[in-house]
Each structure stands twice: as C-alpha cells, then as structure tokens.
Amino acid sequence: MGMLLRRGYLDREMIWDTFSYYARFWWSACRDYVTQERANLTDETLFTDFDHLAEKISEYEAKKKRVTRVQLEPSGSQVKDFLEAEASL
C-alpha cells in the first residue's frame, strides 16, 4: 500500500480514512524493530514502503487535526493495549 501511495495510485485521504489508525499503531509497535533490523542487516531499504505509508498518514492527520506529529504518537500503554486487542482477534 505504501508503494502504491508513493507512486500516486492511491488517494491519500482514502488511505488516511481507511487505514490511519492501524498503520500508525502498527508502525509505532514495529519502528524500533525495523530500525534494529536495518542496522543489523545493513539494509536501509527494509520496510521503506511501510515507513512511507506511516509517514504520509501522520503528516496528513496532523494537518487535518491541526496538531503536531508528536501529539499523534500513541503512548507505550496505548500501543500495548492495541497489540493485545489485535492478538485477541
């Protein structure tokens, strides 16, 4: 999805409306792991499209809600609750 958004095949508002909650929380949950794997494997290309997707969604949401990106970042406890809810599905 990130690649399709980057290439202009998907509408940013549609992506934000449909996937923003999940993309932001999954990226928050995975970001440290991705950073570590990029360093371990010396491969900065790992998950670049997911990174792009999360970045564009956060930019769009911050602009739409007129808040800073930091204000949108889920807390550690919110990410934990999100992952527990996902695991129970």
Domain ranges across the chain: 2-87
CA distance to 3, 34, 35, 61, 72, per residue, from 68 (Å): 25, 23, 23, 9, 7
Length of the chain as a residue count = 89
Specify the pLDDT at position 88: 97
3-state secondary structure of 89: coil
Specify the pLDDT at position 73: 94
pTM of the entire predicted model:
0.89
pLDDT tens for the chain, 89 residues: list them: 999 999 999 999 999 999 999 999 999 999 999 999 999 999 999 999 999 999 999 999 999 999 999 999 999 999 999 999 999 99
d(CA 56, CA 50): 10
* Torsion angle of C-alpha atoms 27, 32, 38, 44, degrees rounded to 10: 50
